[in-house]
Amino acid sequence: MAGPRNRHANDDLPKAKISRESVGEMLYIFKYLKPYRLKFFLGLVFIALSALSTMVFPFLIGKMIDSVAPGQRPAGLEQVVQNPLNNILDPSGWSVNFILILLFVQLSVQMLFSFMRIYLLTEVGEKSLADMRVDVFGKLLLMPMQFFSERRVGELSSRISSDLGQIQDMLSFTLAEFMRGIITLIVGLCLIFFISAKLAAVMLGIVPVVAIVAVVFGGRIRKMSRKAQDQLADSGTIVQEAFQGIGVVKSFTNEGFEMSRYNTSIRAVVRTAIQNARFRGAFVSLLIFSVFGAIAVVVWYGAGLIGTGELKPGDLFAFVVFSAFVGGTFAGFADMFSQLQKTIGATQRVREILREKGESIELGWKMEDGSGKNTDAMLQTSSSPLPTFPKLSGSVQFQDIHFSYPSRSEVPVLKGLSLSADAGKQVAIVGPSGAGKSTIAALLLRFYNPSSGTILFDGKPADEYDLHFLRTQMALVPQDVILFGGSIFDNIRYGNPLASKEEVEEAATKANAHVFIEKFPEGYQTVVGERGVQLSGGQRQRVAIARAILKNPSILILDEATSSLDSESETLVQEALESLMKNRTSFVIAHRLSTIRNADQILVLDHGIVSESGTHEQLMKQENGLYRKLTELQFEGYEKVG
C-alpha cells in the first residue's frame, strides 16, 4: 500500500543499515513528540483498538454462517430481546439477525477507532515535523558561509523536503501500520490456533512461501520502476535542454540530432517498462495461483475436519479470513522494513545538520538609545536582559590580516593586510582580479574569520560584538543583486521589516527608484519574479539601494555595484549611491575607476596586500604605480570602444 504524500519522492532515498546506533539515532526524533505525547499515546491506543476491532469481523461472520448451518437451533430475535445477557454470553445461541446488528455495531466502533487513530497521529506528525522543519531551517540559516560553499542548495533543500518528509511518513503512517501489523499478527496467530491447531499448521506451511514470493518479486519490480522513472527523467532533461537552448539547436541545425537523442532515451524507457511488465505479469499470475491455491488447500483440509465434526463451517470461514490477515501482514513487513531503513538514513542526515556548529548569534539585542531588534520573539523565552550595544560610528581597522578560504587553505588570499577607515569616510578598494577585494567585504560582514590578525570596529575587536548586531550595522549592495520573489515593496522593506509605507517610499525616492516604480500598473505591489527577473539591472540595483537606505547602516559595502550597467542606469544608480553614502563609512569595491575619483581614500590591492593608498590625485602622480596603470588601461579601452 502506498504511503501518504512524498512517497514517490522518498522511493529514491538511500537506505541505512539497521543497528543499535542507527536505531538510537532514529529515536532522537521522538524528542519532538514530547509536546504532543498525550495525543500520540491516545493515537497508539486507538491503533490497538482499531486492530482488535478488525479481528472481530471474521469472528462474527463465522458465527452468522454457523447460525444458519444445518443442526443449529439459534434463538429467535424475540428471545434475544427478552434475555439479552444470556444470549450475548452464549454465541451458539445468537440469531442471524442479532449477529447482523452486532456486525454493524462492530463496523461503527471500528470506524470511530480508525478515524481517531488517523486524525491523532496525523496531527501529532504534522505538528512535530513542523517543529523539526523550523529547527532544521533555523540551523541552516545560522550556518557560516563555509558551510554553504561546501554544499549544493539542492542537497540542503532535500534535507527539509525529502528527508523530513520521510520522517513524517514514519510518524503519521509507517509507525501506525507497523503497530497494526504486530497486533494483527499476534492476535491472528492466536485465533487461528484457537480455532484449529491442525489447520494452523497447514496454513503456516503455505503462507510464508507466498509472503517470500511477494517480497522477492516486489523488490525487483520496485527497482525496475525506479529505473524507468530515472530514464523518463533523463528524457525530460533532453527536452528541457533542447527548448532552453533552442537558438543554439537551430543555429547548428541539430534538430535531427536532438530528435535522435530523445528517441534513443524514450526507447530505453519502453524497453524497461516492457521488461517490468513481464515481471509484474509473472508476479501477479504466481501470486494469484499461490494465494488461491493456498486457500484451496486450507479449505480442502478444513472440509475434512468439518466432515469429522472437528470444525464448524463458520470457524473455517473465520480461519481463512484470519489467515489472509496474517499473510498480508507478513508481506507488508518487508515494505515497512524498507521504510524503516530510509527513515533511519533520513534521521542520520538531519541529525548531522542539527549537530553542526552554527554562528553565535543572540536572539535579541538593543542599543543604548533603547532601539533594537528581537529577531525571534516567539522563541525568546529567556528572562535575562538583552545585551546592549552602542550604535557604531563606523570606524574600521584591519590589523595584519592573513586569510585563506577554508576550502583551499593552501592558497593565501590576504597576506598581512592592514587598512584603516575613519567614520563617515569613503574608502575605495581597487586592484586586479584575484587581489582580495571581495574577500575584504566578506571579512567585514564576518562571513569568514581571518586566519590571523584583528579587525576592529570603533576600536573594539569584532569578536566582542554580537555577530547579528554587527551585521545590522552594515549594508551590502552587490553587483549581482538578489531580490526575492515577492513585491517591490516587500523587497525594499526587507532592509527593515517594521518600516511603514511612507518610510519605504522615502527610501525608494532617495534611491531614484520611486519614479519607475510608480509607472508600473501595480506600483509598489508589482511582483519582481524569481530573483527579480521582471526588472532591469538598473532597476534591481536601485531597489537594492533603497533596501540599504531603509536599513540605515553605519557601514556601507558596495561590491562593484555599477560595473554591469549601461551609462544611463549607471548615472541614476551613482546618484542614488552618493545619497546612500552620505555620513556613512563606505567601502567601495570598484571596477570602473572613474566612479571612485572623489573617494577620501583609495586602497590598491595587489597579491593580498595594500600596495598603494591615497587620493586619486596622489596616486596618479606615481608614474610606475599600479593604480595609474589600471586607470590608463581603462581609459584606452574606453577610447577604443568610442
Q: What is the pLDDT of residue 70?
A: 54
Quote the crossing angle between the two packed helices 567-581 and 537-551, to the nearest 10°: 0
Q: What is the pLDDT of residue 640?
A: 47
Q: Judge contact between 559 and 441, C-beta under 8 A.
A: yes
Helix (H) or strand (E) holding 600: none
Superfamily of domain 12-184+343-357, CATH level 4? ABC transporter type 1, transmembrane domain (1.20.1560.10)
Q: What is the pLDDT of residue 568?
A: 61
- The three cell numbers of residue 375 are 529577531
User: How far apart are alpha carbons 90 and 276 in whole angstroms?
Assistant: 54
- The three cell numbers of residue 560 are 562593484
> In this predicted model, what pLDDT tens digit does every residue of 281-306 receive, in sequence order?
777 777 777 767 777 777 787 778 77
User: How far apart are alpha carbons 563 and 540 in whole angstroms?
Assistant: 14
Q: What is the pLDDT of residue 2?
A: 39
Helix, strand and coil percent figures for the chain, each rounded to 5:
65, 10, 25
CATH of 389-473+556-562+591-642, one of 1.20.1250.40, 3.30.70.20, 3.40.50.300, 3.20.20.70: 3.40.50.300
DSSP string, 480-548: S----SSBHHHHHHTT-TT--HHHHHHHHHHTT-HHHHHHSTTGGG-B--GGGTTS-HHHHHHHHHHHH
Angle at the Cα of 252 (from 246 to 253), degrees rounded to 5?
Answer: 85
Helix (H) or strand (E) holding 42: helix 37-67
Q: Judge contact between 407 and 150, C-beta under 8 A.
A: yes
* 186 CB-near residues (< 8 Å, 6+ apart): none
Q: What is the pLDDT of residue 345?
A: 74
Q: What is the pLDDT of residue 413?
A: 87
8-state DSSP, 253: T
User: How far apart are alpha carbons 554 and 423 in whole angstroms?
Assistant: 8
Average pLDDT per block of 10 residues along the chain, 642 residues long: 42 53 66 84 87 79 70 47 49 71 85 87 84 82 77 69 75 76 82 80 72 70 72 77 79 81 84 79 74 76 78 78 74 68 75 74 49 43 50 87 84 87 88 82 88 89 84 83 83 86 88 86 82 75 86 85 61 76 85 77 86 86 82 60 45
Region for 446 from its dihedrals, namely left if φ exceeds 0, alpha if ψ lies in -120 to 50, beta otherwise: left
User: How far apart are alpha carbons 591 and 631 in whole angstroms?
Assistant: 10
Q: What is the pLDDT of residue 187?
A: 82
> In this predicted model, what pLDDT tens digit does every residue of 463-489 receive, in sequence order?
888 888 888 888 888 877 778 878 889
> How remote is the C-alpha of 350 from its chain's centroid?
10
* 514 CB-near residues (< 8 Å, 6+ apart): 505, 508
Q: What is the pLDDT of residue 284?
A: 72
Sheet holding 364-367: strands in order across? 372-374, 364-367, 388-389
DSSP string, 142-178: TS-HHHHHTS-HHHHHHIIIIIHHHHHHIIIIIHHHH
